[in-house]
Amino acid sequence: MIKALIAVFICITSWAFIPIASKEILKGMNNYAMLFFSNIISASILGIYLFSQNGIRVLKKYSIKDYILMSFLGFLGSFLFYVFLYKAFSLASAQEVFIINYTWPILITLLGFFILKEKATLMSLIAITISFLGVVIIATKGNLSTLKFTNLYADILALLGATCFALFSVLGKKVKYDQKIAVFVYFLSASIFSLATIKAFQIKFINSNTLFWLFINGAIINGISYIFWFYALKKAKTALISNLVYLTPLISLVFISLILKEKIEPYSIAALFLIMAGIGLQLAKKPT
């Protein structure tokens, strides 16, 4: 159990670095170029891991239809999600984008009503309302009286990214694939989709700092972290491990303040509290 907790905290810490890595890499290239290079690194790392675990044999048990479905999920969760997220990071503060993006757990509930035909309860609707109030607070920088959205385009992109990831998660519930195989295919297919956007690549400069964070993003944040994630899920209760992930934005705010030197605004803390409260209400109503 201790090893599983250590593994999941490595994941949480890695994912908390998403805003930092994104901001640093985007200084030297645009979101399309960043996504392509990151996905290539991630797919390579996960492919090596899969090969070391004899996962190549498991690849043969799936049909072409299965791989098409996995590729579609990869398009949603490893390509389109990051296209929106990275672009949003290039337009607004790290704290604003990452907090809004963390509405994906509550969006899973909302999409579940329509796709999985899950019953909408009063508690679910209250949870959704509270979380989206948090989005309005950060999008207006706390000016609820005027409802003036200062970074509306970036906020919409962050919400679109969250919606893509929520849809990816909901559809992923309906299929049962080996997780190691699936994640490898997600990032491999995302690399191919990213290559299709090569004409949109914009590279201003590449220095040692850009290369460092590109490696961190591809190899650790979107690569090795998943290996620890699989280990944690295997060694401990899924509910416990999954709930710990919600610590990510809290840890990320600390990193954003210390590394990016962004001032953490009071409205950001209030918005995050409301979003997390909504998620907490949703989790509390679920049977353990």
**3-class SS of residue 1:** coil
Q: Is the predicted pLDDT of residue 157 greater than 90, yes or no?
A: yes
Is pLDDT above 80 for 182? yes
* C-alpha span between 148 and 255 (Å, rounded): 28
Give the per-residue pLDDT at 288: 46
What is the average per-residue pLDDT within 208-236?
88
Q: 28 pLDDT band (50/70/90 cuts)?
A: very high
The domain limits of the chain are 2-284
Mean pLDDT of the chain: 87
pLDDT at 70: 95
- Name the residue among 159, 171, 177, 41 with its Cα closest to residue 107: 159
Q: Does residue 43 register a pLDDT over 90?
A: yes
Please give the DSSP secondary-structure letter assigned to residue 198. Answer: G
How large is the greatest C-alpha to C-alpha distance in the chain, in angstroms?
A: 60
Whether the per-residue pLDDT at 130 is higher than 80: the answer is yes
pLDDT at 260 over 90: yes
Banded pLDDT at 33 (limits 50, 70, 90): very high
Q: Residue 80 has what pLDDT?
A: 96
DSSP string, 109-158: HHHHHHHS-PPP-HHHHHHHHHHHHHHHHHHTTT-TTTT--TTHHHHHHH
Name the band, by pLDDT with cuts 50, 70 and 90, for residue 139. Answer: confident
Percent of the chain with pLDDT over 90: 46
For residue 84, pLDDT beyond 90: yes
> pTM for this one?
0.87
Query: What is the spatial distance between Cα 112 and Cα 120, in angstroms, rounded to a whole number?
Result: 9
CA–CA distances in Å: residue 220 to residues 49, 52, 280:
13, 17, 28
Least reliable range by pLDDT among 153-157, 159-163, 240-244: 240-244
Residues whose CB falls within 8 Å of the CB of residue 110, separated by 6 or more in sequence, listed in order: 128, 166
Q: What is the distance between the terminal CA atoms of the chain, rounded to a whole angstrom?
A: 18
- Residues 121-126: what's their mean pLDDT? 83
Most trustworthy range by pLDDT among 75-84, 125-134, 136-145: 75-84
Q: Is there a contact between 210 and 28 (Cβ–Cβ < 8 Å)?
A: yes
- The stretch 238-254 carries a mean pLDDT of 80
Q: Are 247 and 12 in contact (CB under 8 A)?
A: yes
Query: 238 versus 237: which is more confidently predicted?
Result: 237
Mean pLDDT of 80-90: 96
CA distances, 213 to each of 140, 209, 216, 225, 266 (Å): 31, 6, 5, 15, 29
The first and second tokens of residue 177, run together, are 């694939």
| Mean pLDDT of all residues in 280-285 | 73
How far is 197 from 83, CA to CA, in rounded Å? 10
Of residues 150 and 12, more confidence is placed in 12
As a whole number of angstroms, the distance between CA 148 and CA 154 comes to 14
Mean pLDDT across 59-85: 93
Please report how the helices 266-284 and 122-139 are oriented relative to each other, as an axis angle in degrees rounded to 10.
Answer: 170
